[in-house]
Structure 1
Amino acid sequence: MSTPANLTRVASFVHRRPWLLSVVNRLNEWQSRNYRQLGLKYDDVLDVEESPEGQLALKRLSAKESYDRVFRLRRAVQLSITHKILPKEEWTKVSEDKPYLRPIIEQIKAEQKEKAALDTVEVIKTH
């Protein structure tokens, strides 16, 4: 499992090597342009599993949304392994690429902020 310290070390390693940084940047650009060709939605390619809010958001997905997400991810992995893309008519359309995780993550962050504010409230007696 990746820890924040390990991720920081890896990021530092990459940033100290301009050639490696350019390779990583090109891969990120390719991924961001081509995820729809694998039948993915933008929220599918986010690293939500790395944050507590993301993990909680995944638990809050409906059964259908959760199943659809797992199906898209498994299909994309299989396509990547075989170096293929979906037929053009099966690509994710822009109109279908609506956020489904980000609104839940934002709601969770708002709930956490409200809870933190309520947990630090001081009650002052006036009697």
Structure 2
Amino acid sequence: MSQPSLTNFIVKRPWLKAWMRPLAGWYADLSGYRKLGLRADDLLHEENETVGLALKRLSPKESYDRVFRMRRAFQLSLSHQLLPPHEQTKPSEDIPYLSPIIREIEAEINERENLDSLVIQKK
């Protein structure tokens, strides 16, 4: 999650945020992951070290739910099917569950790096 982002630029300007919100909803709908029952955080690469640490910090229920969503989406993909509309992930259900943990881990890593590079000067 350390890639550059325009999020801060957009969020600081309410008129731009209001203009981008329908576009973002349209793009998320077009991507199709909700039609397979996935959430946006399910699409993060597990090979990333920070994401791996975040996955270890998930509660057992959330971890089970993630695995279930992934397996169901994989099975649907193999059979070239989509979930029925009442089972698809709705925008209100697509809340981040892994991103807050990733931000917390990145803050811990930054703090550790800052403390490790701390230089003590004697007067």
Q: State the alpha-carbon separation in 1 of the partners of residues 53 and 88 from structure 2.
A: 28
State which of 109, 113, 118 in structure 2 corresponds to 1:121.
118
Q: CA deviation at 1:125?
A: 3.2
| Partner SS, residue 121 of structure 1 | coil
Provide the aligned C-alpha RMSD in A.
Answer: 1.8
State which of 16, 34, 41 in structure 2 corresponds to 1:43.
41
| Partner SS, residue 84 of structure 1 | coil
State which of 84, 90, 93 in structure 2 corresponds to 1:93.
90
> Residue 123 and residue 30 in structure 1: after superposition, are their counterparts in 2 closer, same or farther (change >3 A)?
closer
> Residue 83 and residue 31 in structure 1: after superposition, are their counterparts in 2 closer, same or farther (change >3 A)?
farther
Gaps of 5+ in 2: 1-26
Q: CA deviation at 1:37?
A: 0.7
Q: State the alpha-carbon separation in 2 of the partners of residues 32 and 110 from structure 1.
A: 32
TM-score using structure 2 length: 0.73
> Residue 123 and residue 95 in structure 1: after superposition, are their counterparts in 2 closer, same or farther (change >3 A)?
same
TM-score using structure 1 length: 0.71
Q: State the alpha-carbon separation in 1 of the partners of residues 84 and 102 from structure 2.
A: 32
For the Cα contact (< 8 Å) 2:44–2:51, is it kept in 1?
Answer: no
Q: CA deviation at 1:36?
A: 0.5
Q: How much identity, in percent, do the aligned residues show?
A: 56
Q: How many residues align?
A: 97
The structure with more radius of gyration: 1
CA deviation map 1:42-89 (0-9, x unaligned) = 111121x12110100000100011000000000000001111111100
1:109 aligns with 2:106: yes
Gaps of 5+ in 1: 1-28
Residue matched to 2:56: 59
Q: State the alpha-carbon separation in 2 of the partners of residues 98 and 57 from structure 1.
A: 16
Q: State the alpha-carbon separation in 1 of the partners of residues 62 and 35 from structure 2.
A: 20
Amino acid at match of 2:108: E
> Residue 30 and residue 94 in structure 1: after superposition, are their counterparts in 2 closer, same or farther (change >3 A)?
closer
Q: CA deviation at 1:32?
A: 5.8
Runs of 4+ aligned structure 1 residues displaced above 4 Å come to: 29-32
